[in-house]
Structure 1
Amino acid sequence: MIVVGGPASTKLASNVARELGVQCISLEYKVFPDGESYIRYPLESCDVKGEDVVIVQSLYPPQDKHFVELLFAIDALRHLGAGRIAVVVPYLAYSRQDKVFLPGENVSVRTILRSIERMGADYFLTIDIHKEESLNFLSIPSFNITAVPLLSNYIKGLRLEEILVLAPDRGALWRAEMASRFLGAEYDYLEKYRDRSTGEVSVKPKSLSVKGRTVVIIDDIISTGGTVALAAKVMKELGAHKVIAACTHPLLVGNALEKMYNSGVERVIGTNTIPSTVSVVDVAEIIVEKLKSILKPN
């Protein structure tokens, strides 16, 4: 088995290879003056003919560039005679456009997933996809794993007291429930509303008992930080002692961190599906665990 690190995930790919005890090869890549992407698998490093190959490439911004690089990599490895190709996309861009919200839209995640399959992927693996049902767009074996246990263990190590795990909306309630079991804490959620035309988010306060407690807001993605900032503001108004935000995918667009800190968030915790200053939890362990189960010797 060989692990191939895409340009977006060289460090994570290296961690995965180390956990597996196999070689990690980084793709050569560049961008031409006209903006076109170029990748090359360095044949002189290791021949892939007949070998099982794991490609690791996350699709964080610039997501279109990273997506094209991934397609090029799959295509190159398939034509080089690789055996089974497992594509690991720790953060799957466009996963939030999983249905038609307004007439005339396409289902972006369907386009992304089917393109990956048609390039030659045999297996697909991602982490905390926005909605697991999106994997039904694929006909190859596909897997969604969650980083909630890893995040929970990290939070547990902080030795916080009087914890309430909070989901920012009902859709993330299962995530809060899972984390609460690891932390031995209570959990709840906020009512969230998003205007589909403007994208503006609002939250509806609930009668939560948070006075003097540490509130851990947990979600799959923190993008602009608007939802977390609103939730933190509500929690502080209700008397929370401390607010911490945790997520699998720290996109942190623009001034997201500043926005959250200014709203009362004391700390933001993320995983390394996306490199950032808050990416303190390594997901290599759960990727390797799943790869071992799906890439058993023929």
Structure 2
Amino acid sequence: MDARGMKIFSGSSNRKLAEEICSILKKRLGDMELNHFADGEIQVKINETVRGYDVFLIQPTSYPVNEHLMEVLIICDALKRASANRINVVMPYYGYARQDRKTAGREPITAKLVADLLEAAGVDRVITVDLHAGQIQGYFDIPLDHLAAGHLLARYFKPLVQEDPEDWVVVSPDLGGVTRARKFSHDLDLPIAIIEKTRPRPNESIVENIIGDVQGKNCIIIDDIIDTAGTITNAANFLAEKAGAKDVYITASHALLSGPAVERIEDSAVKKCVVTNSVHLPESKECSKIEVVSIGPQLAEAIRRIYNYESVSELF
């Protein structure tokens, strides 16, 4: 059945991004109230009809991840019970993705659990950006559009690289990120280097070796997530102080910037940290080293194509 039209709503996670998307699509942001009961439970009230409409809900599940995930589930339940035609969740940052498989006994697979919860809540489609692990796409039994932010980040660096491309190299922060780094290096037509590291515990790492030539080079370390920034700033400091690199840049799709992340970036050898606005960056986390490029136009175009039954593959 054809939809009566499109409506866009936003949770509390990244309303600024939702407003940007609405501005691009020339749509009004849907009227919805989010409140809490005295015990902290989330209360949702949708103040306009959604019956028969294709609804797009903008909500990355960033900090506080549990709150924002529950918002998604409750809002989608409300939309389903209000007879929305199709419920599309635009989740640029997909929380709980780092537990995507069992690496030891008695561990959960939270990436699969979240997929199941979204489907149970009535979601018909998910649009996301740079999942922590590509295989998470297989956890969904509904359509999932997996967009990439690499070309947006590469666009920032192209003017710098073109001045003297032989002086630049793309660096993967670990062996698991080689595919991401190689795609990024192809966008910029640069060689790559790889950092070998060990992780004694979560959010900590020790650099063991570097594969590739970084001596006298400007380095771009690319990752999907910057959380506490401990791992990536350690890598940047190692490149600058022990491996002979010149300027070191770091870039990632999702800037969680938890805990001491901003201070670590400010105090490190990093010249610039380039991220997208998939996660809202509050004023308290802004600093002169952090540059934000908007993923809003790409998400808006994906929404437009999905609503009009056009190909989305060009945006991958």
The gaps in structure 1 that reach 5 residues or longer are none
1:71-110 → structure 2 map (5 Å cutoff): 71-110=73-112
Q: 1:211: Cα distance to partner? A: 2.5
* Equivalent of 1:260 in 262, 265, 277: 265
Match in the other structure for 2:205: 201
Instruction: For 1:214 and 1:137, locate their aligned partners in 2 and report how far apart those are by CA, in whole Å.
Output: 38
Q: 1:246: Cα distance to partner? A: 0.5
Instruction: For 1:25 and 1:233, locate their aligned partners in 2 and report how far apart those are by CA, in whole Å.
Output: 46
Instruction: For 1:207 and 1:93, locate their aligned partners in 2 and report how far apart those are by CA, in whole Å.
Output: 31
Match in the other structure for 1:222: 226
Q: 1:102: Cα distance to partner? A: 2.4
Classify 1:199/1:176 alpha carbon distance in 2 versus 1 (closer, same or farther; 3 Å): closer
Equivalent residue pairs, number: 294
Match in the other structure for 1:287: 299
Instruction: For 1:297 and 1:269, locate their aligned partners in 2 and report how far apart those are by CA, in whole Å.
Output: 33
* Equivalent of 1:16 in 21, 34, 37: 21
Q: Percent identity?
A: 32
Match in the other structure for 2:69: 67
Match in the other structure for 2:40: 35
Instruction: For 1:104 and 1:207, locate their aligned partners in 2 and report how far apart those are by CA, in whole Å.
Output: 35
Match in the other structure for 1:210: 214
Instruction: For 1:7 and 1:279, locate their aligned partners in 2 and report how far apart those are by CA, in whole Å.
Output: 23
Instruction: For 2:295 and 2:172, locate their aligned partners in 1 and report how far apart those are by CA, in whole Å.
Output: 21
SS across alignment from 1:206: strand
Instruction: For 1:238 and 1:248, locate their aligned partners in 2 and report how far apart those are by CA, in whole Å.
Output: 26
* Equivalent of 2:12 in 7, 23, 48: 7
Match in the other structure for 1:242: 247
Q: 1:195: Cα distance to partner? A: 3.2
The gaps in structure 2 that reach 5 residues or longer are 1-5, 311-316
Which amino acid letter does the alignment assign opposite residue 32 of structure 2?
L
* Equivalent of 1:141 in 143, 148, 155: 143
Which amino acid letter does the alignment assign opposite residue 229 of structure 2?
G
Q: 1:39: Cα distance to partner? A: 2.0
Q: 1:26: Cα distance to partner? A: 5.0
Q: 1:232: Cα distance to partner? A: 0.8
- Which region of structure 1 is more displaced relative to structure 2, 254-263 or 7-16? 254-263
Q: 1:279: Cα distance to partner? A: 5.8
Q: 1:75: Cα distance to partner? A: 0.7
Cα deviation code 1:189-221 (max 9, x no counterpart)? 11132235x663222222532222211111000
Q: 1:297: Cα distance to partner? A: 5.3
- Which region of structure 1 is more displaced relative to structure 2, 32-41 or 246-255? 32-41
Asked if 2 retains the 8 angstrom alpha-carbon contact of 1:221 and 1:247, the reply is yes
1:36-55 → structure 2 map (5 Å cutoff): 36-43=41-48, 47-55=49-57
SS across alignment from 1:205: strand
Match in the other structure for 1:58: 60
Normalising by structure 1, we get a TM-score of: 0.92
1:148-163 → structure 2 map (5 Å cutoff): 148-158=150-160, 161=164, 162-163=167-168
Normalising by structure 2, we get a TM-score of: 0.87
